[in-house]
């Protein structure tokens, strides 16, 4: 279970909510309303007050890197720093989720990052994140660059991971219909506070 208690960052908050294992919380709101900042605070990338707990263990009980290894954030725009795709993945990555994301197999691992399209980068960024087997997912508009087909694949892969591993997921997005598909409940960021949508 992911618990966010009295979280404050900059002049947002206090924000509180919790997500049961295997559940997905959708968060919507206008651009600039602070949805990404909320994910960054939960991932402890920005200074904040208040507590975030995963399965009862607090963010401050772990070193920053260890916390982010468990509570993993997927940024809206993916970044790549090595030349080859493979170098961004853990060495023991078996490639099983690649097929679910629309790649024909492991040969994409041998590609150069420079030949990837925006959509391929976004799907591989999700694969790269799941390969590290995090205990919670913070997804910032994970399908923003994707066509409807690929969007469906990403939704499917996330929900399979969420149910099999029983991890809590936060899904930030604009598309109300999509949030209805992927999330069990939804909040809306408005005036630096979270309001219940449904």
Partner 1 sequence: MNIIELEPWELALAGALVVALASCTIMAGLGVAKPLLIAAVRMVLQLSLIGLVLRELLDANNPWWVGMIALVMLAFAGREVSARQKYRLRGIWGYGIGTGAMFVSSFAVSIFGLAAIVRADPWWDPRYAIPVLGMLLGNTMTAVALSIDRLTASAWQSRETIEARLMLGESGRQAVSELVREALRSGLIPVINSMAVAGVVSLPGMMTGQILAGNPPGEAVRYQILIWLLIAAGCGFGMLIAVRMTADRLFDERDRLRLDRFCH
| DSSP H or E segment with residue 16 | strand 12-19
Binding of partner 1 at residue 58 (CB under 8 A)?
no
54: buried, middle or exposed (CB in 10 Å: 19+, 13-18, 0-12)?
buried
Using the contact rule CB under 8 A, the part of the chain among 37-45, 97-105, 115-123, 143-151 near partner 1 is: 37-45
Binding of partner 1 at residue 145 (CB under 8 A)?
no
Measured from the CB atom, the residue of 169 and 186 that comes closer to partner 1 is 169
Measured from the CB atom, the residue of 81 and 110 that comes closer to partner 1 is 81
| DSSP H or E segment with residue 121 | helix 118-130
Binding of partner 1 at residue 105 (CB under 8 A)?
no
Interface with partner 1 (CB under 8 A), residue from 4, 15, 37, 72:
72
Using the contact rule CB under 8 A, the part of the chain among 6-14, 17-25, 97-105, 128-136 near partner 1 is: 128-136
Interface with partner 1 (CB under 8 A), residue from 11, 32, 56, 79:
79
Measured from the CB atom, the residue of 8 and 45 that comes closer to partner 1 is 45
Interface with partner 1 (CB under 8 A), residue from 3, 21, 22, 45:
45
Binding of partner 1 at residue 163 (CB under 8 A)?
no
- Measured between alpha carbons, how far is 43 from 61 in angstroms, rounded to an integer? 13
- Measured between alpha carbons, how far is 58 from 21 in angstroms, rounded to an integer? 16
Binding of partner 1 at residue 64 (CB under 8 A)?
yes
């Amino acid at each position: 279970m992911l618990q966010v208690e009295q979280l404050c960052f900059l002049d947002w908050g206090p924000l509180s909510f919790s997500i049961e294992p295997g559940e997905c919380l959708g968060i919507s709101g206008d651009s600039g309303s602070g949805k990404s900042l909320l994910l960054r605070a939960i991932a402890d990338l920005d200074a904040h007050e208040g507590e975030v707990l995963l399965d009862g263990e607090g963010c401050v009980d772990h070193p920053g890197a260890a916390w982010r290894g468990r509570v993993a954030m997927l940024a809206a725009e993916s970044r790549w720093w090595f030349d080859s795709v493979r170098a961004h993945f853990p060495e023991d990555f078996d490639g099983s989720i690649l097929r679910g994301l629309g790649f024909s197999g492991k040969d994409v691992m041998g590609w150069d990052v420079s030949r990837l399209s925006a959509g391929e980068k976004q799907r591989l960024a999700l694969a790269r994140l799941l390969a590290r087997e995090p205990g919670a997912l913070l997804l910032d508009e994970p399908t923003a660059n994707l066509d409807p087909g690929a969007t469906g694949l990403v939704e499917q892969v996330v929900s399979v991971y969420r149910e099999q591993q029983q991890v809590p997921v936060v899904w930030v997005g604009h598309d109300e219909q999509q949030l209805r598909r992927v999330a069990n409940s939804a909040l809306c960021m408005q005036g630096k506070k979270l309001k219940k949508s449904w």
